[in-house]
Amino acid sequence: MNERSNKTSISKMIESKSSQQGMKKAAEGLMPKFFLICAVISILTTVGIVLTLIFETFSFLEVVGISEFLLSTEWYPLHGDPSYGVWPLIMGTLMIAVIAMIIAIPIGLACAIFLSEYASDKTRRTIKPVLEVLAGIPTIVYGFFALTFVTPLLQNIIPDLSIYNALSPGIVVGVMIIPMVASLSEDAMSAVPQSMREGAFALGSTRFEVAMKVVLPAALSGIIASFVLAVSRAIGETMIVTVAGGANPTMDFDVTSAVQTMTAYIVQVSLGDAGYGTTEYYSIYAVGMTLFVFTLLMNILAQFISKRFREAY
Amino acid sequence: MKVVGDTTTNVQTNKKTANISGRQLKNKLFKGLFVAATGLSLLVLIVLLVRIFTQGIGHLSWDYLTSFPSRRPEDAGIYSAFIGTIWMMAVTAPVAFVLGVGTAIYLEEYAPKNKFTDLIQMNISNLAGVPSVVFGLLGLTIFVRELSLGRSVLAGGLTMALLILPIIVVASQEAIRSVPAELKEASFAMGATKWQTTYRIVLPAAIPGILTGNILALSRAIGETAPLIMIGALTYVAFLPENIMSQFTVMPIQIFNWTSRPQTEFHDVAAAGIIILLVMLLVMNSIAVWIRNKFQKQL
């Protein structure tokens, strides 16, 4: 009796189960395809970026010519007889990047050494999130800060500093990437095994000697990679240099006068009313292409350094 | 020979020992330097926040929140930009969530170990390093021109979704990877299929991490300016978007507009806008941290 009712209920269960089976099978087959499509979209994004840049850059080069773009050292697209030599924009960009790195490398690395080698666990857990706040502030806020606070402050020290200059946005870009250098370098230093530090301590080293002679060399590949990534970030930074750097593409390497970076030029044209199809419109793609190539090379270099020169323990 | 060698070592040791106080002094000096550097970066943060707060607080009022931008600084408000930001987020958040989490599930649960999977993974980490202004060029060409979406909320939202996609994928992958293998194995042992396991076991366990990553990515999107300038989000908007095809502006662009005006009164208006923007980011980040802390212990 009991056995029998059990059997019927089981067969009922099996029946109801198999009626759901169709739905389930469909989901089982469809979901992986859906997820694959999602993953492919990320590839399509890259393909889209590359194709967009290549096609529109070609439209630009048909008019301007690659020799003028790469060899001329004058950039005045709005002139009656325009000249499109990209070097002033590249130099402006590199100038900002160099100033930023002069600020970010020593301070960021010092933060990393402090957090990884000196700070107690509790201090580290308090300071790291605060540094992350610094990294999470929108760049337009930094731009505002550079223009309305840092530039007037610097004008007190350097009286002939113009309102738009390379120095102030360079410093502020540096401040913006301190957390990046600090956090990535700290990760690299924390990955150095404790036993190596203890060995050095046992030989009578001070903390500073352990940091400099044991941890730093062991973590060097990760630290250098963090510098390269930071440079890439500084090159691609847009709003700070647009707001505080000015719009003056020159090659004179004067940090107290206005400059223009590649990113700032792209924004300047977008804000103006350059019509679709004009040479000026296409020029932002050529500049964007140059920018993309620069940052891509930097990112690949960083990956190469951290893989190739990693010390494995 | 051996004796001579030993003596040199002895002399060296003596020298080192004699210098121990010097070495310790050096250690202390550099420790001070490292602390100072860390303190300096925290100080910059404080100066930045205090400066913006004192500059903008005077302009902050209910009127400021509910007024359209104006030519006169005392009348200018952030209403249209605030609503524009919310409209854009309404497009960006779902698109980026589905695409990002879908990609992460594919990579962690379904992807075979082959060259194609490596390509996707490498591609995502490279996309994360592409400057945001280049994403703007992509959005301008593909969404605004090729797909004829115009300078609409939809075009801006989709561009932003692609921009934050890598952040969401990486965060979601980490969350999914941290689900213990025993949970999945137990589910398979009970006869559950792959999708059932993913849907009922993996995703519920990973959802706090996924949400945290998504909120942090969205807070990045809220603060982005350059890509939206590229796709032509307007800098002066005295109306609200009516649907996703409407023209719009967002808070960072409005702040940029006020910052680049020559009249310094507008700088105070910009500072007030920055306070609102930072408060929004603070709220979002707090929610993210709260979710992380609340659910972290359960696994």
Q: Is A107 a residue whose pLDDT tops 90?
A: yes
Average pLDDT over chain A, rounded to whole? 86
Contacts of residue B47 in chain A, CB cutoff 8 Å? 149
A110-135 average pLDDT score: 88
B11 CB burial (10 A radius; 0-12, 13-18, 19+): exposed
B72-92 average pLDDT score: 86
Contacts of residue A267 in chain B, CB cutoff 8 Å? 133, 226, 229-230
pLDDT band at B1 (very low <50, low <70, confident <90, very high): very low
Contact A219, B232 (CB under 8 A): no
In the numeric block, the tokens 């980026």 are attached to B96
What is d(CA A32, CA B194) in angstroms, rounded to the nearest whole number? 10
Looking at residue A312, its pLDDT comes to 65
Q: Is A264 a residue whose pLDDT tops 60?
A: yes
Residue B292, Cα to own-chain centre: how many angstroms? 16
Continuous H helices in B146-264: 153-177, 181-189, 194-197, 203-223, 226-230, 251-259
Secondary structure letter of residue B57 according to DSSP: G
Distances from the Cα of B268 to the Cα of A232, B254, B273, angstroms: 32, 13, 9
Three-state helix/strand/coil letters over A253-287? CCCCCCCCCHHHHHHHHHHCCCCCCCHHHHHHHHH
Does B27 lie at the interface with A, CB-CB under 8 angstroms? yes
Does B124 lie at the interface with A, CB-CB under 8 angstroms? yes
Looking at residue B4, its pLDDT comes to 47
Model pTM?
A: 0.87
pLDDT band at A4 (very low <50, low <70, confident <90, very high): low
Average pLDDT over chain B, rounded to whole? 85
Looking at residue B9, its pLDDT comes to 52
Q: Where are the domains of chain A?
A: 2-64, 75-308
Q: Which residue has the higher pLDDT, A3 or A132?
A: A132
Q: Report the candidate in A84, A130, A88, A2 with the shortest Cα–Cα distance to residue A262.
A: A88
Determine the residue among B44, B134, B145, B170 to mutate to test chain A binding: the one whose Cβ has the most chain A Cβ atoms within 10 Å. Answer: B134
Backbone phi, psi, residue A20, to 5°: -80, -15
Nearest C-alpha of chain A: how many angstroms from B238? 18
CB atoms within 10 A of CB A172: 30
Kindly state which CATH superfamily the domain A75-308 is placed in.
Answer: MetI-like (1.10.3720.10)
Contact A271, B136 (CB under 8 A): no
Question: pLDDT per residue over B119-157, tens digit each?
Answer: 898 889 888 889 999 999 999 988 888 888 888 889 999
Question: pLDDT per residue over B197-235, tens digit each?
Answer: 988 899 988 988 899 899 989 999 999 988 998 887 776
Looking at residue A2, its pLDDT comes to 52
pLDDT band at B2 (very low <50, low <70, confident <90, very high): very low
Strand partners, A75: A84
B64-77 average pLDDT score: 78
Question: pLDDT per residue over A39-61, tens digit each?
Answer: 999 889 999 999 999 998 988 88
Q: Which residue has the higher pLDDT, B240 or B132?
A: B132
Looking at residue B148, its pLDDT comes to 83
B90-94 average pLDDT score: 93
Looking at residue B13, its pLDDT comes to 56
Looking at residue A1, its pLDDT comes to 46
Q: Is B290 a residue whose pLDDT tops 90?
A: no
| Burial profile A82-115: b = 16 or more Cβ within 10 angstroms, e = fewer | eebbbbbbbbbbbbbbbbbbebbbebbbbbbbbb
A129 CB burial (10 A radius; 0-12, 13-18, 19+): exposed
Pick the CATH number of B62-296 from 3.40.250.10, 2.20.25.10, 1.20.120.530, 1.10.3720.10: 1.10.3720.10
Contact A242, A263 (CB under 8 A): yes
Nearest C-alpha of chain B: how many angstroms from A298? 9
Contacts of residue B33 in chain A, CB cutoff 8 Å? 110
Which ipTM value was assigned to this complex? 0.87
**E strands present in chain A:** 75-76, 83-84
A123 Cβ neighbours under 8 A, 6+ residues apart: A115
Nearest C-alpha of chain A: how many angstroms from B242? 24
Looking at residue B16, its pLDDT comes to 56
Among left, alpha and beta (phi > 0; psi -120 to 50; other), residue B19 is alpha
Report the residue of chain B nearest A114, measured CA to CA.
B34
B279-295 average pLDDT score: 86
Q: Is A170 a residue whose pLDDT tops 50?
A: yes
Q: Is A145 close to B51, i.e. CB distance below 8 A? A: yes
In the numeric block, the tokens 């707001």 are attached to A243
Looking at residue B249, its pLDDT comes to 87
Q: Is A67 a residue whose pLDDT tops 90?
A: no
pLDDT band at B61 (very low <50, low <70, confident <90, very high): confident
H/E run at residue B142: none
Could you tell me the end-to-end alpha-carbon distance of chain A, in angstroms, rounded to an integer? 68
CA dihedral sign of residues B28, B34, B40, B43: negative
